[in-house]
Amino acid sequence: MKYINKKLTIERVSVQNIANKYGTPTYCYSYKKLNNNINNFKKSFRSFAPLICFAVKSNTNVDLIREIKKFGLGADVVSIGELMMALKAGISPKKIVFSGVGKTSNEISYAIDKKILLINAESKSEIIEIHRIAKLKKKGVQIGIRLNPNTDAKTLSQISTGKKENKFGVNEKTFFELINYCKNSNYLELKCLSVHIGSQILDHKPYEKMLNVIDRIIKKTNYQFEFIDLGGGMGISYNDNDKKLDYKKYNLAIKKFLKNHKSKIIFEPGRSIVGNTGTLISKIIYIKKSERKNFIILDAAMNDLLRPALYGTTHKMLPSIKTNKKSKKVYEFVGPICESTDKFTTLKNFQELKEKDLVAMCDVGAYGMSLSSNYNVRPKPVELLIKGSKIKIIRKRQKHKDLM
C-alpha cells in the first residue's frame, strides 16, 4: 500500500478505481504480500523444513487457499466445513491437520475417511470417540494429542489459548494417560504432540517457555513422536508502534529443542500468512458533527469486520486520496449498525474528510472476511485478489436476494 500521485494504491491499482468498478465495502488482497509472507516464513525456519499448515479459519476464501496451496502449504482446519474447503482448494489430505475441542462424530468419521494427516484430539472423551469410530470402520487413524502447556502467550485474553484455565488441550497428567490409552488401541496411531498457545503473539519468550514445557514432558514420556505441531499465533504489526516477533530467536529455540528430539515440526500459521495482505475499502455515507468529535459513518460495519468490536483492536485507517489538510476535529469511524460497539477507531489529526470520500482499513486479511456475518441483513462484501495491475473477483458480493 503506497501513495502514487497522492492516490492510495494496492500493487498497481488505485483504491479509487477499485471502488468505482466494484463498489464498497470491498475486501482486496495483495498477491505480492502473500508471496512475500510465505517465502519469509519458509526462509525463517528453512533449516528444519517444517510442514506449514495454513490455519484456514483465518481466511476461508477457496481461491486464496488455492494460491496458498501452490506454495506447498497444507492446512489446519477446525471444522468439517473448513476440511471440505481445504480439500476443494486441492490441498492433499496428507497435509491436513484437524484441531478443535468439539469435533462431532460426523466430523471425525469424515476426517478418517479422507485419511488426513492428523486428527489432533483435545480430550479423553474425544480420543475414546475417535477409537470407537475407527474400530467401527476397521481403519487405523493417525492422531495427535493437544497438550495445554499452561504457558501465558502474553497476548489479548480473548485469543490466549495455552493457559490452564483455557478450554484447549489436556493437562500433563491426562496427556500421559492418553498416551497409554493409544498404546492399548489397535486403531489409534499416536504420531503427534500438538500445542497452540494463542494468537497475535509478538514476543518470542512465550514460545521458548512452551518449548521448554514440551521438552520436559516428552522426556518424561519416553515416547517418540513423529511430529511436533507447534501451532500458529505469530503476530503481525497492526500499528506502527507494535513490536515485531523475532523469528530468528524463535527459530533458534526450536533448533535447540530439536537437538534432543528427532521429530518433524508442523506449524499452523494463519494471521502471519494472510493478515497484512487484506484491505477493506469503504465509503463515507455521512459525517455527523457533534460537540466533541465528528462521527465518520462508513458503509462498512462490524458485520464486515468484527475484530474491533470483538477484541477492541484497531486497524490502520488511510484516506484514498492524500491531501495535506488536517482536521481539527477528532474523528470517530463507525459503521451504520445499531450497536455501540460498531466502531472501528478514533483518531486525532486525521486528514480532513468529506462525505463520499473513500477510506481503507489495513491488515484485515486474517479474521476479517472469515468472521463476517449477515447481521442486519447486510450482504457480505466482494473479495478481490490483486496481482500487479490485474484484479480477480475471488468471491462475489452477496445480493439481498441471496439472503431472503
Ligand X SMILES: *Cc1c(COP(=O)(O)O)cnc(C)c1O
Q: Is 302 exposed, middle or buried (0-12, 13-18, 19+ CB in 10 A)?
A: buried
Grid coordinates 488482497 are at which residue? Answer: 29
- List, in sequence order, every residue forming a beta bridge with 29; answer none if it has no partner: 278, 385
Minimal distance, residue 82 CB to ligand X, in Å? 11
> Three-class SS of residue 145?
strand
- With contact defined as beta carbons under 8 Å apart, do 170 and 180 qualify? no
338 is catalytic: yes
| Shortest distance, position 103 Cβ to ligand X, whole Å | 12
Q: How far apart are CA 135 and CA 137, in angstroms?
A: 5
Distance, first Cα to last Cα, the chain: 37
The CA-based angle 385-266-80, given to 5 degrees, is 60
* Given the residues 28, 53, 338, 362, the one annotated as active site: 338
Q: Which of 166, 175, 173 is nearest to 147 (CA)?
A: 175
Write out the H or E segment, with its range, that includes residue 81: helix 80-88
Cα 133–chain centre separation: 30
Name the minimum Å distance from CB 97 to ligand X.
8
CB of 118 to ligand X, least distance (A): 12
Nearest partner of 36 among 266, 239, 277, judged by Cα:
277
Query: From CA 150, how far away is CA 155, in angstroms rounded?
Result: 14
Residue 42, amino acid: K
Shortest CB 77 distance to ligand X, Å: 9
Measured from the CB of residue 100, what is the shortest distance to ligand X in angstroms? 7
Q: Where on the chain is the footprint of ligand X (CB under 6 A)?
A: 55, 57-58, 76, 78, 99, 196, 199, 231-234, 268-272, 366
Name the residues annotated as catalytic.
Answer: 338
